[in-house]
Amino acid sequence: MIKNSIEGHPNHRHLRVGELVKQNLGQIFLRNEAKIPALNTKMVTVTEVKMSSDLKSARAYVIPLGGKETKKTVNILTEFSYLVRKALSKKLDIKYLPRLHFVEDKSFDYAERIEKLIKENKNK
């Protein structure tokens, strides 16, 4: 599990580096710079990036457009993460290029369930 700092809370540096990685991953996917076979990266959104405490590892939360085939997308990105990392190396000038771990973003599903529960409660 990736921890952001000793206490588990991100500090400003972790947040800055995470945001930098997120923005650059978004550009790489939008411009299809990683050249991943069998995946249109233009349809992938990076919603958040959390950095490890040593900044050597990054957990990238992703969701495909429409939220369909998320597990398949994450599996393909994981398999070809070396291509994404190579493309990222050309954009970032930081001491350590983080290892990338792609994770399915479930926050939209969670928000949808909460919204549904609120609507059901209002109608009672």
Each residue of 14-57: pLDDT tens digit? 899 999 999 999 999 999 999 998 888 899 999 999 999 999 99
Task: Assess whether pLDDT exceeds 70 at residue 119.
Answer: yes
- The structural domains of the chain, with segments of one domain joined by +, span 12-122
What average pLDDT does the chain have?
Answer: 86
- pLDDT at position 75 is 94
What residues form DSSP beta bridges with 29? none
Residue 68's pLDDT is 81
pLDDT > 90? residue 87: yes
Could you tell me the pTM of the whole model?
0.79
More confident residue, 74 or 67: 74
Tokens of 112: 């949808």
Question: In this structure, are residues 14 and 5 in contact, taking their beta carbons and an 8 Å threshold?
Answer: yes
CATH architecture of 12-122: 2-Layer Sandwich (3.30)
- DSSP readout, 67-107? G-SHHHHHHHHHHTHHHHHHHHHTT---SSPPEEEEEE--H
* Residue 71 near residue 27 (C-beta atoms within 8 A): no
